[in-house]
Structure 1
Amino acid sequence: MKEKRSFFQMIFGVNRQPPRNSTQMQMLNSSPIFHDFSGESYDSDTVRATVDAFARNVGKLKPKHIRRMGGKIKETSSEIEWMLQTRPNRFMNAYIFYYRLATQFLMANNVFVWIRRDENNKIEGFYPLTSSNVDLVNTSVGMAVRFRFYDGKEYVAPYEDVVHLRRFYFNNDMFGEPNRTALTPILNLISVTNQGIANAVKTSAMLRGILKFTGMIKDTDMEKQRQDFQDKYLSASNNGGIAATDSKAEYVELKSDPKMIDEKQMSAMENKVHSYFGTNSKIVQSNYSESEWNAFYESMIESFALQMGLEFTYKIFSDRAQGHGNEILFEANRLQYASNDTKVKIIETLVDRGMMSINQGLEVFNLPPVENGEKRIMSLNFIDADKASEYQLGKVKGSAEPPKVKGGEKKNDDNGET
């Protein structure tokens, strides 16, 4: 019978023993403990839509394993690249993996990705970890990260095996600042506003007023008639909104005037949330122009991709491998968001100068590659800048000698005279 294993065991393994005899790290100016407070703000529809706009675009980043050799960049089709591009771990494809990293980056301002290795130090997978709290400890293998999960389990991993991305990195020596202090006030205001709108709608759909009796009746009879009137006409079941009385009573309506926030004020509050996360309503609603997208890419996505590339490079490769130029880069095809006119102009310019292959140009328009399309072509109107003067003086092999005149003297190019 096959042994049942928990999700914790499937990630960390049954026989994996984390470092023992750990003692908490001593920081210079802060606590070595990080508490995750991200869940509350993610319940807001404004926050969730804003974070999703960032995460779904980060999910389209393409990691590449390259080697910088002698000033040149060589792409390397390694197993690490395949893993990062397709299936970082057995539970997530690449899009979902980077989507989750981006979400954790904005919601918790700290991202922890544990690099699982086998006994031979070969990488088996990358696992983003979300825990109730994280603290740094000293172990026999150096500084380590202790994760305490919501079910009470914990795991200690060497810090060298944990990709750690940070945002709002200020007071704490190792962790990004939490969102609670800065984000909670505006989220509370939005929540109260939404509740006020809901209550105003309910109030406007119901009758409110005073029932005046024209004659003298007992208190018990008055209360009974009042209750009967309320049950019949002042409840949500009174769809028509009309009440009927006889000559014994007169109904005097009390008009309610609920104060509702206007669209401009509501938009201002949502913009504060968007600004906090480095975006705007056009990006969230996918209603951006080419220049607006480029601004968002350069300010948010590109900076996140840069941090990921630096951290993944350092945690994946040894010092020796990095010394041989091994590096992880995250890139995106920004031209996908350009207009067709812009795409055509860029392709014409780059292909003419040999900076883009035919297949790369086809990729911009989401067209399939063609045979021999990786070749680079160049217009004959351009030459090597270092050899431009040699062409002018006729010293390059195969070039025509400047014309000669009688007497064996060359034509004077300065004034046209001999």
Structure 2
Amino acid sequence: MKEKRSFFGMIFGREQQQPQAQQYTQMQMMNSSPTFYDFTGDGYDSDTVRGTVDGFARNVGKLKAKHIRRVNGKIGPPTNDDIEWLLSVRPNRFMNAYIFYYRLATQFLMTNNVFVWIRRDAMNRIEGFYPLNSACELLEHQGEMYVRFRFYDGKTYTAPYYDIIHLRRFYFNDDMWGESNRKALNPILNLISITNQGIGNAVKSSAFIRGILKFTSMLKPDDMKAQTDKFQADYLTAANSGGIAATDAKAEYQELKNDPKMIDDKQMNAMEDKVYSYFGSNKDIVQSSYDEAEWGAYYESMIEPFAIQMGLEFTYKIFTDGQQGHGNEIIFEANRLQYASNDTKIKVVESLVDRAMMSINQGLEVFNLPPIEGGEKRIMSLNFIDADKANEYQLGKVSKAAAPPAPKGGEEQNDDGNRGGGDDNRPLDSDV
């Protein structure tokens, strides 16, 4: 019979190659806050929050990870592209790159702390990157910092902090953790929830008849209750789809006007805007109805800062000091022109291709067109020339060796040395 393995075991394995648990001591912080971080993402149950977070996460998911080397101010390709393949195609066995970054972005907004465990083999080579959702605490062992993760099924795993990519938001009070969303976000979420419940109750109450049944004759309390229950069962339920009640001379029905108070659109939008503002977004981003300027502002204020933080943290935790000293770096970039208007795309592509700053295939990518054979070649318009050479030409500093021989005798010279009264300081032909 095939042995069953838990998801925990598939990621972490059966045994941990690390010191025994009793050898750890709790990490002491400079402030008085606890070293225990409680993972929580309760606000994700709100449709407003979930839509806002999704608007951020689905755009972060389109970021492209690149492993580069900066040498003498120039960017070159790395000698080994295994890391780039992991980060740009398949960070781990269970996630493609889009889903991986989508989840990191979601955790970033919902918990303000992102933990990614770097799994290494026996040769210390990176096998994968795994985002972890769990409570955790900081420990110390022999001068090194460790993180113990406590999962919901009771299992724990302890890893050195240098193998944990840790991203933070709202980083203020605690020495290590980002602040919780509970105190800041829960009041407005509770108000939105109460409002939605009130709207639902108002719709339900409007479907029923409400009133007072006044009996015209004296009845015993038991008989009055029996008549009331019968009237209610016959007419004051959803089964009375006609909305009409009938009485005889024994009773008189007086209707009570049902006028539920409901919040208007302006107030509801104001509450939702508070949620959007908390997450640095707006309704146009959530509903994908943004224009070029709105997208640019959103990218620079939310996506780009997150990409910068990821690049810095991934670089530091993936590469050794020596590798970083040789220029190895992880960056995350996005094709922002994808969201520009067609007029802007045309102008930018024309300018960059003419100046050999963009290849043909890069220009096609801007318009979501497939690459072509030989499209990586860069072309340049002849209307442009090296600035130094242009200055030499227009200032008359042409090499004497390249100048034509002077004619013998009889030909006049003008004051500036040009023969025949001509003007060699003519404007530069733009096509040369």
Residue 410 of structure 1 corresponds to 417
Q: What residue is the counterpart of 1:50 in the other structure? A: 52
Tell me: CA distance 1:91–1:229, structure 2 relative to 1, closer, same or farther (3 Å). Answer: same
What is the TM-score with the length of structure 1 in the denominator? 0.94
Indicate the residue corresponding to 1:7 in structure 2.
7
Cα gap change, 1:256 to 1:358, in 2 (>3 Å): same
Corresponding residue of 2:17: 17
Aligned residues: 414
The DSSP-based 3-state class of the residue aligned with 1:152 is: coil
Moved more, 405-414 or 241-250: 405-414
In structure 2, how many angstroms separate the alpha carbons of the residues matched to 1:247 and 1:262?
43
- AA paired with 1:28? M
1:394/1:400 contact within 8 Å kept: no
Q: Tell me the SS of whatever aligns to 1:156.
A: strand
Say which one has the larger Rg: 2
Distance 2:231 2:277 in 1: 51
In structure 2, C-alpha distance between the alignment counterparts of 1:222 and 1:119, rounded to whole Å: 84
Change (3 A) 1:44 1:119: same
2:145: which partner in 1? 143
Q: Distance in 2 between matches of 1:401 and 1:367?
A: 49
Query: How far apart in 1 are the matches of 2:50 and 2:196?
Result: 16
Percent identity, aligned pairs only, is 71
The structure 2 residue matched to 1:33, chosen from 33, 36, 57, is: 36
Checking the alignment, whether the CA contact within 8 Å between 1:393 and 1:402 is kept in structure 2 is no
Secondary structure of the corresponding residue to residue 406 of structure 1: coil
| Partners of 1:89 and 1:125 within 8 A in 2 | yes
The answer (yes or no) to whether the contact 2:356–2:378 under 8 Å persists in 1 is yes
User: Mind listing any 5+ residue stretches in structure 2 that lack a counterpart?
Assistant: 427-432
- Conserved in 2, the CA contact under 8 Å of 1:141 and 1:158? no
Q: Which of residues 90, 95, 98 in structure 2 aligns to 1:92?
A: 95
1:229 paired residue number: 231
The answer to whether the aligner puts 1:108 opposite 2:111 as a matched pair is yes
> Taking structure 2 as the reference length, what is the TM-score of the superposition?
0.91
Q: Spell out, residue by residue over 1:322-356, the C-alpha distance to the aligned partner (whole angstroms, 9 max, x if none).
A: 11111111011111111111111000011111110
Q: 1:278 to 1:396 in 2, by over 3 A?
A: farther
1:86-105 Cα deviation digits (max 9, x unpaired): 11000111111000000000
Deviations 1:129-177 (A, max 9, x none): 000x211110236111111111111111111000000000111111100
Tell me what 1:175 maps to.
177
- Give the alignment's Cα RMSD to 1 decimal: 2.2
On the 8 A contact 1:19/1:141 being kept in 2, the answer is no
**Correspondence for 1:60 among 30, 49, 62:** 62
Shift of 1:127: 0.2
Q: Note the alpha carbon deviations across 1:194-221, whole angstroms, 9 max, x for none.
A: 0100111111110111111112222221
Task: Tell me which residue corresponds to 1:209.
Answer: 211
Segment drifting more, 46-55 vs 215-224: 215-224
Question: In structure 2, do the counterparts of structure 1 residues 23 and 398 end up closer, same or farther at CA, with 3 Å as the change threshold?
Answer: farther
Compute the displacement of 1:388 (Å). Answer: 3.3
1:380 aligns with 2:382: yes
Deviating 4+ runs (over 4 angstroms): 394-405, 411-416
1:167 and 1:398 map into 2 onto residues whose CA distance is: 66
Counterpart in 2 of 1:134? 136
Higher mean C-alpha deviation, range 398-407 or range 16-25:
398-407
Task: Quote the offset at 1:180 in angstroms.
Answer: 0.2
Distance 1:17 1:324, change over 3 A: same
Change (3 A) 1:238 1:154: same
Unaligned runs of 5+ in 1: none
Secondary structure, counterpart of 2:186 in structure 1: helix
- Equivalent position amino acid for 2:376 in 1: E
Q: Measure the CA separation in 2 of the matches of 1:215 and 1:5.
A: 76
Secondary structure in 1 aligned to 2:413? Answer: helix
Q: Map 1:66-81 to 2 at 5 A.
A: 66-76=68-78, 78-81=81-84
